[in-house]
Structure 1
Amino acid sequence: MSYASLMVAVDDGRHAAARVRLAAELAQRFGARLIGAAGCLPEYPQGFGESIVPAGMAIEEIRQAALDRLAGAERVFRQASCLNDRVAWRSDLAAPVPFLEQQSRAADLVVVGRDGKEAGVSPGMAVPVGDVLMGLGRPVLAVPPGLEHLAARRIVVGWKNTLQTRRALSDALPLLRRADAVQVVQVAETRDRSEIEDVAGYLALHDVPATAEAMAPAGWSVAETLEGAAGAFGADLIVTGAYGYSRLREWFFGGVTRDLLARATVCCLLSH
């Protein structure tokens, strides 16, 4: 198993180019195709759309502004991915999250930015990681603001015996196999190591150099403990499951997922 096709979400924010460079480098490492994807929803006055034009040229100008944002995003993508010879671009005047969900059918892994409000992304182009995680059906690589390199030579797996984490483990195998060292970390009060020893043994069967580490919770949250483990291990990637549920299209996450999305300083590969 490998990654044959990667997709990166592109927007008009200040961190887009760095995210594309990270995705392009990763695609080159796997000999994979890289697809840039961007949706932009024109900021029409409330209650209006392309089929209702009470303001004449004003509506057309709003539409053109959205097209200009998409064109700018494409320029960023092509410039930042210029070292790759297998690239493709997809964009549309559409809500960015549903557009990315539709286009993800063409990718093994989707790279998304974990940008905050300070990133300068237009509201019509914003791609919240939480929404993407819950609707994509693909593993998501969440990239912190401004990060443009992922070595993934040392990786921490945040283990919890759930279907989400088991899926994340399988989704991350191409990266895990290329790592120099992998640490399977279970944060719990229990002293029973059977689960993580089992996981480390499973990874060894897939030629992954994995060790098992049981840790008691430290700090304010499990996510903080995982971050500390990654720092101590010299890892720049955390692999774990994403836990959450929907209510009227509003996403709610368990503490670990929420905290990682909010504060992790390293990349996180998450599966739901």
Structure 2
Amino acid sequence: MTYASIMVAVDLGDQARPRTGLAADLADTFHARLIGLAAQMPDYGGCPVGPTPGGTYGIPAIRDAVLNDLSRARTAFEDAARGRSRIEWRSSLDFPLAFLTSQAAAADLVVLGRGDDGDPCMAVDPGDAVMRLGRPVLIVPPRVDHLEARRVAIGWKNTREARRAVQDALPFLKRASQAVIVSIDDGRGAADTRDVVGFLQAHDVDATSVARDALGAPASEALIDVAAEYGADLIVTGAYGHGRLRKWAFGGVTRDLLAGAPVCCLMSH
């Protein structure tokens, strides 16, 4: 199993270039094609109807400004891709998440920023994306421009989402020198990791497990601490295992990792 096609969302924010460079390096690693994507919907809401300075004659100007933004995003993508031959560009006058969702069938892996670190007109909220795309999403935090993934931490509970995430992360895991499965006791007991360790070992992954007590802290903090202890620069987790609305209201590992993880996170739902 590998990633044959990697898609990266591009915007005009400061973090788009390092994120695209990271995605391009991953495309090299997995011998994959790299698809850059951007979308923006023209805002005609403030444009009155009629031949006034802000009316009908202003609508083409608004559309042209958005097309110019998309052209600038394409230039940034091509510059960051540094002349690689297997690249493709897709853009549209559309809402960013809607367009990304419509194009996700072309990708094995989708690379996104955090959503609040980019151009708000083009950025995609990764929480919305992981729920809608049906693809694993790699979230790149600010100021990260490279992913080695020689050591990978897996946040484990025996849920559908976590099982899906482990399967989706196999291309990374098979290349890693070590994968550590992290089971956090958040007051309800630590999950049994024997089956997932056995599954990964059957795929020739050097997998071990560790159980930690959250000690009253958020489980996400314990997971990040273990990742740092083992020198992992990639965390793999299932996303929103008990419903997104409940997790956003009362807290949850997914929300906390999206907001503040210092390393890349691969999430599946």
What secondary structure is seen at the aligned counterpart in 2 of 1:152?
coil
In terms of mean alpha carbon deviation, does 36-45 or 13-22 score higher? 36-45
Report 1:88-127 matches (<5 A). 88-116=88-116, 119=117, 121=119, 123-127=120-124
Per-residue CA shift, 1:88-145, capped at 9, x if unaligned?
Answer: 00000000001000101000000000142xx451x32121111111110000000001
Partner of 1:225: 222
Cα distance in structure 2, aligned partners of 1:7 and 1:127: 13
TM-score, with length taken from structure 2:
0.92
Cα distance in structure 1, aligned partners of 2:11 and 2:131: 20
Return closer, same or farther for 1:120/1:144 CA change in 2, 3 Å cut-off. Answer: closer
Superposition deviation, residue 190 in structure 1: 6.5
Cα distance in structure 2, aligned partners of 1:48 and 1:259: 42
TM-score, with length taken from structure 1:
0.91
What secondary structure is seen at the aligned counterpart in 1 of 2:193?
helix
5+ long unaligned stretches in structure 1: none
Per-residue CA shift, 1:181-223, capped at 9, x if unaligned?
Answer: 1100000157767x21221111000010000111111462000
Cα distance in structure 2, aligned partners of 1:48 and 1:221: 50
5+ long unaligned stretches in structure 2: none
Per-residue CA shift, 1:42-87, capped at 9, x if unaligned?
Answer: 12225879xxx97022111111111011001000000001252200
Superposition deviation, residue 159 in structure 1: 0.1
Q: Is the 8 A contact 2:12 2:72 kept in 1?
A: yes
Q: Is the 8 A contact 1:5 1:35 kept in 2?
A: yes
Q: Which amino acid aligns with 1:88?
A: E
Return closer, same or farther for 1:88/1:251 CA change in 2, 3 Å cut-off. Answer: farther
Partner of 2:12: 12
Q: Which amino acid aligns with 1:77?
A: F
Q: Which amino acid aligns with 1:178?
A: R
In terms of mean alpha carbon deviation, does 85-94 or 210-219 score higher? 210-219
User: For the aligned residues, what is the CA RMSD?
Assistant: 2.2
Superposition deviation, residue 14 in structure 1: 0.9
Report 1:59-208 matches (<5 A). 59-116=59-116, 119=117, 121=119, 123-188=120-185, 189=187, 195-208=192-205
Q: Which amino acid aligns with 2:161?
A: Q
Aligned counterpart in structure 2 of residue 263 of structure 1, from 260, 263, 267: 260
What secondary structure is seen at the aligned counterpart in 1 of 2:158?
coil
Q: Is the 8 A contact 1:191 1:214 kept in 2?
A: no
The answer to whether 1:240 aligns with 2:237 is yes
Q: Which amino acid aligns with 1:166?
A: R
In terms of mean alpha carbon deviation, does 180-189 or 86-95 score higher? 180-189
Cα distance in structure 1, aligned partners of 2:95 and 2:30: 30
What secondary structure is seen at the aligned counterpart in 2 of 1:182?
strand
Q: Which amino acid aligns with 1:136?
A: L
Aligned length: 263
Determine what percentage of the aligned residue pairs are the same residue.
49
Q: Is the 8 A contact 1:154 1:179 kept in 2?
A: yes
Q: Which amino acid aligns with 2:235?
A: I
